[in-house]
Homo-oligomer: A and B are copies of this chain.
């Protein structure tokens, strides 16, 4: 029998300890993500995987925000974040700081997530707007494109689900 663990048995970090803990060298960039529910959910996933920072770009909502909190459930206090006026500004900043930038998109010459070989370089992952995806101009500024294989009828995943899948794939060997 597998007895469920109580919250206090999970031995999670305090916010203070989270701030001090070594992070994965991974920045999640949200390119004009409209849904505050998605933004909050990304914070929660980033907390679980010790992501270094979230860059909220353009019209992407920022904390403090009640709607973000509904899904972040406090992870806005643990995970570092900053806002950029445009996603292009964020990419500029990242490249100057030696991050390899990948858009998560469906594009010609994309790398299928199955075949993406992440070692431990500084990496930024750019996720796009719910309708328009990552802007073409932003894709052009990236070092490459990662594509999650999709075999059904729909054209895309929910953006917070995409973030979970891609972060899991690159960190699964390191957790």
Instruction: Report A's interface with B, CB cutoff 8 A.
Output: 1-5, 7, 10, 12-15, 18, 21, 37, 41, 44-50, 71, 73-75, 77-79, 103, 105-110, 113-114, 133-134, 136, 139-140, 142, 144-145, 148-155, 157-158, 160-165, 168-169, 172-173, 175
Would you call A3 and B49 a contact (CB within 8 A)? no
Nearest-neighbour CB distance to chain B for A118, whole angstroms, equals 13
Could you say which residues of chain B place their CB within 8 Å of the CB of A145? 2
Would you call A109 and B2 a contact (CB within 8 A)? yes
Could you say which residues of chain B place their CB within 8 Å of the CB of A3? 107-108, 136
Would you call A140 and B1 a contact (CB within 8 A)? yes
Query: A4-B139, A157-B164 are contacts. A48–B107 as well, Cβ < 8 Å?
Result: no
Would you call B71 and A158 a contact (CB within 8 A)? yes
For the complex, give the distance between the alpha carbons of A48 and B157 in Å. Answer: 8
For the complex, give the distance between the alpha carbons of A108 and B113 in Å. Answer: 32
Ordered by A's residue number, 27 sampled pairs between the chains whose C-beta atoms are within 8 Å are: A2-B105, A2-B108, A4-B134, A5-B107, A10-B106, A13-B152, A15-B153, A18-B153, A37-B37, A44-B158, A46-B152, A47-B154, A48-B151, A50-B152, A71-B158, A75-B152, A75-B153, A78-B153, A113-B168, A114-B173, A160-B160, A161-B163, A161-B164, A162-B164, A164-B165, A165-B168, A168-B168
